[in-house]
Structures are given as C-alpha cells and as structure tokens.
C-alpha cells in the first residue's frame, strides 16, 4: 500500500474510532512534501462513500492536506452520513494529488480521461476529477461541473484543466 493511502486510512480509522486528528509522519515521502490540492475518495464495496478535496492547497504539505481531506471525506460529505466504526473494514481509499489548474480556451483542450476540469462563473465553481467511470466526453464533464457549481447551462464560464497523480 502506498504511504499516501496508508496515511489516509490511518487518519480515517483514528478519527472515526477516537475523534482525534493524527499528525503527519515525522519523515515525509517525496510525494507528501510540497503543496497541492488533494481529493480523498472513500468507496465501500465499490460504491462511493465520501469524496472531499481542495482545488488549491490549504495546508502546509500534501500530507497535512491528505489528513484534513480524509477526515472531511469520512465525516462531512453532505451526500452521506458520517462513516461509522463498523464500516471501516469495508472501505477502500483513493487519493488524487492535483497539478496547478491551467486556464483553457474551450472544451477542445480537454480530455476526460487525462484531465480533471474546473468550471467557474464568478465565485461559483464546480470540479470533476479525471478518468471517472461513465464520463467519456468533455461536454459531459463540463455539464456535471456546472451542476455541482450551481452554474446555468447558458452562463459564460472559465474552464480550467488539471492532471492528477492517483494513489490507490
């Protein structure tokens, strides 16, 4: 298991069992250093159980970003009840570390397998990670992002793309 996944799993298990937030490892792997946006996804028996993340870094390191977002994924995803201790054995973890988003001119510069998308109109934003099952076109990616951000289909938007390093 990759150290980033081990960190996410230990974070969720400790927080759900004790309510305590763990500290980052004393020695960080190269992937845990630096700053980046991070999404932590939890799946239970193949179904999404929680997914929370940050577009841009909010913490001092990727390790701290993983800890904060792992807790949020387990306890604060509004689509789900908080994870309970009895579910921990059934959870699978995925962590996406985002590259810096780059502004693109239009959908022709997107590829849903390679790039995640951020759709922005004013202060409203919607984000979708890349390479998701059932999302095969950039147009569909943008449509989902508009829905997530509360952005109408005819509103002008800025499009950003980013890549991720996905750990499972």
Tell whether 168 is covered by a domain.
Answer: no
Residues 28 and 80 in one domain: yes
With beta carbons less than 8 A apart as the criterion, state whether 97 and 162 touch: no
Residue at a domain's end among 98, 125, 151: 98
pLDDT digits (tens, 9 = 90+) for 48-100: 999 999 999 999 999 999 999 999 999 999 999 999 999 999 999 999 999 99
Residues 94 and 24 in one domain: yes
Token code pair at residue 156: 């002008």
Tell whether 35 is covered by a domain.
Answer: yes
Instruction: Indicate the number of domains in the chain.
Output: 2
* CA-CA-CA-CA torsion sign (142, 99, 13, 75): negative
Residues 79 and 110 in one domain: no
- Full domain range(s) for residue 119: 102-163
Q: 23 exposed, middle or buried (CB, 10 Å; 0-12, 13-18, 19+)?
A: exposed
pLDDT digits (tens, 9 = 90+) for 13-38: 999 999 999 999 999 999 999 999 99
Residues 92 and 134 in one domain: no
């Amino acid at each position: 298991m990759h150290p980033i996944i081990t960190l996410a799993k230990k974070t969720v298990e400790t927080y759900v069992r004790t309510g305590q937030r763990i500290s980052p490892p004393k020695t960080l792997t190269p992937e845990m250093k630096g700053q980046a946006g991070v999404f932590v996804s939890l799946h239970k028996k193949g179904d999404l159980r929680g997914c929370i993340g940050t577009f841009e870094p909010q913490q001092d390191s990727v390790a701290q970003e993983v800890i904060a977002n792992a807790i949020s994924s387990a306890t604060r995803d509004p689509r789900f009840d908080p994870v309970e201790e009895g579910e921990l054995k059934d959870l699978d973890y995925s962590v996406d570390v985002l590259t810096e988003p780059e502004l693109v001119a239009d959908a022709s510069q997107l590829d849903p397998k390679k790039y995640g998308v951020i759709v922005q109109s004013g202060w409203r934003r919607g984000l979708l990670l890349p390479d998701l099952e059932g999302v095969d076109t950039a147009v569909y990616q943008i449509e989902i992002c508009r829905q997530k951000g509360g952005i109408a289909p005819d509103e002008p938007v800025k499009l950003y793309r980013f890549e991720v390093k996905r750990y499972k």
